[in-house]
Chain A
Amino acid sequence: DVQMTQSPSSLSASIGDRVTITCRSRQSISTFLNWYQQKAGMAPNLLIFGASNLRSGVPSRFSGSGSGTDFTLTISSLQPDDSATYYCQQSYSTSRTFGQGTTLEI
């Protein structure tokens, strides 16, 4: 299985801050990397697919980058609604795997 590791595990930031979350894969996965947001008590929601493609309807303050083994999710200007846990997930292998999650507190 392709192991995914996120950092940090948690972070605290303020409204208007720029925040970056990192995801690393143990092997190269090209750009087959997705990002999800999960708010407390709710199902996950897709934000970005293919490492950098913003899903329709997702605010443009979210962006993704990276390829190979290193990826980042950036929130350019934090809003109160962004308080959530964020997960990366690889779709390179047919055995899908998620990172352990990054909890963002605002």
Chain B
Amino acid sequence: EVQLEESGGGLVKPGGSLRLSCSGSGFTFNSYNMNWVRQAPGKGLEWVSSISSGSDFIQYADSVKGRFTISRDYAKPSLYLQMTSLRAEDTAVYYCAREGVVPAAADFYYYYMDVWGKGTTVSVSS
């Protein structure tokens, strides 16, 4: 069965740091682009960051740029999100999501998040 599992969430004070981890099973983890998506309590989905399969292409949402760092370990294999300078507004359930891809047309591809973990909860509060 194809699965993702997040870990590392918890309660942290404003200004603190936390590292989230995501591991996969049932598929070749290192072959896929990966994403972090979060959901604040009672709110919608917010894309946070993505990393390509080769770690050569990394993107961040403006809301976390300069504070969060996405990375992956090919030996484990795992995905990480290092979060620093945390704020109350970073409180959310954090999901990791695999990015599937299919050809759309010549030189174009459809990308979509086809496998999601159950999420890990991050609470930022004093």
**Which A residues are within 8 Å of any B CB, using their own CB?**
1, 31-32, 34, 36, 38, 42-46, 49-50, 53, 55, 85, 87, 89, 91, 94-101
Inter-chain contacts of A53 with B (CB < 8 A): 102, 110
Shortest beta-carbon distance from B20 to chain A in Å: 15
Closest 10 CB pairs of A and B: A49-B112, A43-B116, A50-B110, A96-B47, A101-B44, A91-B111, A98-B45, A34-B112, A100-B44, A46-B114
**Which B residues are within 8 Å of any A CB, using their own CB?**
35, 37, 44-47, 50, 57, 59, 61-62, 95, 97, 100, 102, 104, 110-114, 116-119
Inter-chain contacts of A85 with B (CB < 8 A): 44
Instruction: Say whether A98 contacts B47, CB under 8 Å.
Output: yes
Could you list some 24 contacts between A and B, CB below 8 A?
A1-B61, A31-B104, A32-B111, A34-B113, A36-B113, A43-B95, A43-B119, A44-B97, A45-B116, A46-B112, A46-B114, A49-B112, A50-B112, A85-B44, A87-B45, A89-B113, A91-B111, A94-B57, A94-B59, A95-B47, A96-B50, A98-B37, A98-B47, A101-B45
Inter-chain contacts of B57 with A (CB < 8 A): 94
Closest to A97 in B: B47
A interface SS class = loop
